[in-house]
Chains A and B, each alone.
Chain A
């Protein structure tokens, strides 16, 4: 017996507008970007075929190496701080009376956009700014690498911690009570209960949180652009910032597209490998 489609006979008609929009606004630009990555193009004159020259430059570009290094700091840092601390806050506040109130302060910064977040923190982290005054130090937090990337990562943590906490709390709430009660009756508690019972049961949700954080950290752009513009001397650039700078600041649309393609491949591959391992 075949099931009748939910939307009836006109189902293609219903889906088509969305499909066309996605194709037109996402896939077509992607194909165009992939083509541009194989050209020399300044955004004005017609693109000239360059073969793999831009990709060869990619592997010989010290800036790209430093951007890749900074992006790696963002990825690892995001896993350790917004995600790791988010899990910690969720676990510590989940089972206690009034726990939701403890989580509220972590949630509030999530209302800010990435650019807004950076605008708020700019006068704090700038030399002679609020952080210098409060800590009684004379440090320019946003100047030397890798301190500037770490400082921005802490700001990112300030914003992202709440939403990760919330997602983990949802995960904790969705765990069936049975196995936990059974484990408790068997004498499990604290770290052992978490490690061997709660953590494995949360795995589907953890996979989503980590997957989202992985992609978000790989494409880090707005906070870096507003706070340092990738500088000074390009030392805080991430791959996404390099892509933007090469394309729109230097006007090298061909090479900028190559960085975009490389970033897409890295993000796609990382997500695929991670999700393949986690979601079975």
Chain B
């Protein structure tokens, strides 16, 4: 009996020893960094960046891409408490960045920012998106301006030109409808917020800002008017069915819808489909619904590349982030994806995107922070579900707004 218990204890001890790690955290010198990201489709581009960094700064990088952002976020949050720590990881600005900075999990990059701004590699305008309590965290993994991608062949076929006013845009949609072509893409999954933010930014960008800080309510008349305008477009038959699961890149390529509204990163989808800018597709900034606004509102987003405060090799991670902001790295990063860059020194090959970047930098547009980053996570979750319901049942817009407001009331009662 005693021997059997000893054997049991022995097995248990072996198991515990196997399960337990070495508690002491030792600093390592790394020559290869892991970059966890929720952009699984971009693995090829990250790998190219890894090869380029190895050549340039002697640090290679291996990406691990997730395609499900919920799973990805859960993994990153869990990594804060385990020994499986990414050297670098992508995240979101806004409330999500604030959350992890508050928990002291993210490395301070103020020095990198100061140096990059001084060298002209990053713009001061971008800093507020990365600043929390006066310090910067992470660096821009990408920036994107939102507008409308359109199928050039369909436009040419119906003798259409990019619109200068909102009325022009509606007229284009009407012309396409008369030729049995769906004008716009929209979806009930994840990106269900796109038209809400676009119409609101074009109707009342101040209200948009107030809404994202809890100073306005989703049930306010201005917000209701946005939903009514959106419903008007759906009722007019301009949108393709939101239940169609076709990839938006294929939607545009096949002409299932003539226009798809996304950030400039959607250009990568065009690149992946061998579509040529100017010949197969074009891009325009969506005109304001309210023509009396002084500037055209343009949705803007920037996704951060971060490192952990307790990274395995903090110096190596910081060195990498610093390299990422340089013109050399950014030229490659923007070039391989056919996208715009956070570095003002980088010339964008795509003419339309190059122009947008230039205009945005010169203050021609009113940049509006994307809804995804501007809205606190719990309200965002309720809103995405709400808009997803609305696009399939447009008559439910008041119910949807009330549901989102209920979540917003709960959130702002403890977060003002």
Q: CA A127 – CA B240 in complex, angstroms? A: 10
Q: Is A249 an interface residue (CB 8 A)?
A: yes
Could you tell me the distance in whole angstroms from the C-beta of A206 to the nearest C-beta in chain B?
Answer: 38
Q: Are B378 and A251 within 8 A (Cβ)?
A: yes
Cβ proximity bits A16-33 to B, threshold 8 Å, 1 near / 0 not: 110011001000000000
Contacts A44-B99, A128-B244, A231-B385 hold; do A13 and B189 have CB atoms under 8 A apart?
A: no
- Closest B residue to A252 by CB, please name it: B378
Interface size of B in residues (CB-CB distance below 8 Å): 46
Residues A232 and B241 in contact, CB atoms below 8 Å apart: no
Taking CB atoms, residues of chain B closer than 8 Å to A276 are: none
Q: Which residue of B lies closest to A142 (CB)?
A: B243
Known: A43-B74, A142-B243, A250-B378. A233 touches B11 (CB 8 A): no
Are A231 and B188 interface neighbours, CB within 8 A? yes
* Chain B stretch 1-60: residues in CB contact (< 8 A) with chain A: 1, 3-5, 7-8, 10-12, 15, 19
B244 touches A143 (CB 8 A): no
Selected from B71, B103, B188, the residue in CB contact (under 8 A) with A44 is B103
Least Cβ distance of A144 to chain B in Å? 7
- Contact partner of B388 (CB less than 8 A), chosen from A144, A231, A244, is A231
Sort chain A's interface into a size bin.
35 or more
Tell me the bound Cα distance from A127 to B189 in angstroms.
13
Q: How far is the CA of A52 from the CA of B32 in the complex (A)?
A: 47
Q: Does B381 reach chain A (CB closer than 8 Å)?
A: yes
Q: Is the interface of A mostly helix, strand, loop or mixed?
A: loop
- Are B389 and A232 touching (Cβ within 8 A)? yes
A11 within 8 A of partner (CB): yes
Residues of A within 8 A of B19 (CB): 24
Least Cβ distance of B249 to chain A in Å? 15
Within 8 A of B (CB), among A1-41: 9-13, 16-17, 20-21, 24
Chain B residues within 8 Å of A144, by CB: 392-393
Q: Are B74 and A248 neighbours in the complex by a CB distance under 8 Å?
A: yes
CA distance A129 to B245 in the complex (A): 8
Report the minimum CB–CB distance from B5 to chain A (whole Å): 7
Tell me, rounded to whole Å, the shortest Cβ–Cβ distance linking B154 to chain A.
Answer: 17
| Among A17, A143, A247, A252: residue with most chain B CB under 10 A | A143
Interface residue B100 (Cβ < 8 Å from any Cβ of A): yes
Q: Which of A13, A24, A45 contacts B7 (CB 8 A)?
A: A13
The 6 residue pairs across chains A and B that have the minimum distance between CB atoms:
A233-B389, A13-B7, A140-B243, A126-B245, A127-B243, A232-B188
Q: B residues touching A (Cβ–Cβ < 8 Å)?
A: 1, 3-5, 7-8, 10-12, 15, 19, 70-71, 73-74, 77-78, 80, 99-100, 102-103, 105, 188-189, 192, 241-246, 256, 377-378, 381, 385-386, 388-393, 396, 400
| Chain A residues in the interface with B (C-beta under 8 A) | 9-13, 16-17, 20-21, 24, 42-45, 122-123, 126-129, 140, 142-144, 229, 231-235, 244-245, 247-252
Seed contacts A143-B243, A232-B391, A232-B392; 16 additional CB < 8 Å A-B pairs: A12-B5, A16-B11, A16-B12, A44-B103, A45-B102, A122-B245, A126-B243, A127-B242, A140-B244, A140-B392, A232-B188, A232-B388, A233-B188, A245-B70, A249-B70, A251-B73
